[in-house]
Amino acid sequence: MKLKYFLSFIACLFCVNFLFAKADNLDSAAFYLKKAQQFSKISKFIDADRSFQKAINFNPSNKDLNIAYGDYLLTQRKYFVAIEQYGNVLESNINHPVALQKLAEVSFLLRRWNDVVMYGKKLLQNDNKASVKYILGKSYYELENYGQSKVLLTEAVTENPEQVEAVTLLGKVLVELNDYKQAIAVYNKTLQLDPNNKQLIYELGLLYFSMNNEPEAIRYFELAAEKGYKTDLGYYENLGLAYLGTNIEKGVEILNKVLENKPGNSDILFQVAQAYFKVEKFQQAADTYYKVYENDPANSRALFMTGVAYQKKGDKSKGIAFCEQAIRMDPELAQLKTAKSIF
């Protein structure tokens, strides 16, 4: 009797093991996928990687597995291996929307702009989202195809006016196309929705500065600072240069503070000298032009302008001497002697 019960128990145990083994074999890909996800959660990344590979080995044609493994690889910053996984999906379905989206996004992250365009154009055939148009527009911008970038970014902004990155980039594209007025209109439209956007406010200041509208540039630069924009040396340099066109004393004061951290910056000094010359403060202009020359003895134009400033001041002999010295350094400067823009 005992033997009978024992044999029955063994038979049941065999059946249970057989059924579980069969269940594992039938659902082995799902089993290892679950294990991979569990290992990933507890930061056992080697085990997670092995489990993903086992899952795919059991079912290589499962596109969801390849995408899940690719997503995991992205979290590990193994970008190129992730690209391989997403690429495996495209081998059997060249227009798979999820794989195309992932490949476009990874390529965007890696700044592989031509690849973004390749995948993005295919994706755009089935997915008309503003986010796709943005990454395509950004890629065309980086590839200096500003016309195509403008088309895509305009559509992206129209569909999602609150996508600030797209709006800002569209403004930059319009600047590259020398369409400053349209760029300003785009920024102002967005500021109506987000009036505290300090980055856009500052960009507006730069736009007005590019248009030689110093008063508006100053207004937006200072408003950006009020909203919390970072007032670093670059900010004060732009603010000071803008002030040179409206209030030269204040502009020079601001730029002198910049020069304390950038001593001998020839570009800033030359701009200051030009501002002095423009308002007919010729002695200050001559002194500043000469500082540029002292910092950069190869700068023949700065030396020439030193001479011009002295001549405008009335010191003809001294001015002519500087000009002739500069012309010996660069004979082409002789053409400036009759330039009305200088004299």
Q: What is the pLDDT of residue 227?
A: 94
Q: What is the pLDDT of residue 34?
A: 74
Does residue 230 lie in a domain region?
A: no
Q: For the ranges 120-124, 285-289, 308-312, 313-317, which has the lowest average pLDDT?
A: 120-124
Does residue 314 lie in a domain region?
A: yes
Question: What amino acid occupies position 141?
Answer: Y
Which is higher by pLDDT, 219 or 279? 219
Q: What is the pLDDT of residue 86?
A: 83
User: CB of 71 within 8 A of CB of 42?
Assistant: no
pLDDT reading at 228 higher than 90: yes
Our measurement of the distance from residue 25's CA atom to the centroid of its chain's CA atoms, rounded to an integer in Å, reads: 49
Does residue 327 lie in a domain region?
A: yes
Question: 50: buried, middle or exposed (CB in 10 Å: 19+, 13-18, 0-12)?
Answer: middle
User: CB of 118 within 8 A of CB of 102?
Assistant: no
Q: What is the pLDDT of residue 9?
A: 37
What does the pLDDT average to over 135-150? 95
pLDDT-derived band at 58 (thresholds 50, 70, 90) equals low
- What is the distance between the alpha carbons of residues 68 and 331, in angstroms, rounded to a whole number? 68
Q: What is the pLDDT of residue 44?
A: 75
Does residue 61 lie in a domain region?
A: no
Q: Which of 68, 79, 122 is nearest to 97 (CA)?
A: 122
pLDDT (tens digit, 9 = 90+) per residue, 294-342? 999 999 999 999 999 999 999 999 999 999 999 999 998 888 765 445 5
Q: What is the pLDDT of residue 16?
A: 34
Dihedral angle, C-alpha 92, 94, 96, 101, nearest 10 °:
130
Q: What is the pLDDT of residue 294?
A: 92
Does residue 44 lie in a domain region?
A: no
Q: For the ranges 17-26, 130-139, 156-165, which has the lowest average pLDDT?
A: 17-26
Does residue 162 lie in a domain region?
A: no
Q: What is the pLDDT of residue 19?
A: 33
User: By residue range, what is the domain housing residue 299?
Assistant: 280-343
CA angle 270, 273, 276 (to 5 degrees): 155
Does residue 319 lie in a domain region?
A: yes
- What is the distance between the alpha carbons of residues 114 and 107, in angstroms, rounded to a whole number? 9
Q: Which of 212, 274, 229 is nearest to 248 (CA)?
A: 274
For residue 298, give the CATH number of its domain: 1.25.40.10
Tokens representing 186 are 């785009």
Does residue 324 lie in a domain region?
A: yes
Tokens representing 115 are 């690849």
Specify the DSSP element, H or E, that contains 98. Answer: helix 97-109
pLDDT (tens digit, 9 = 90+) per residue, 66-83? 778 778 777 878 889 888
Total domain count for the chain?
Answer: 1
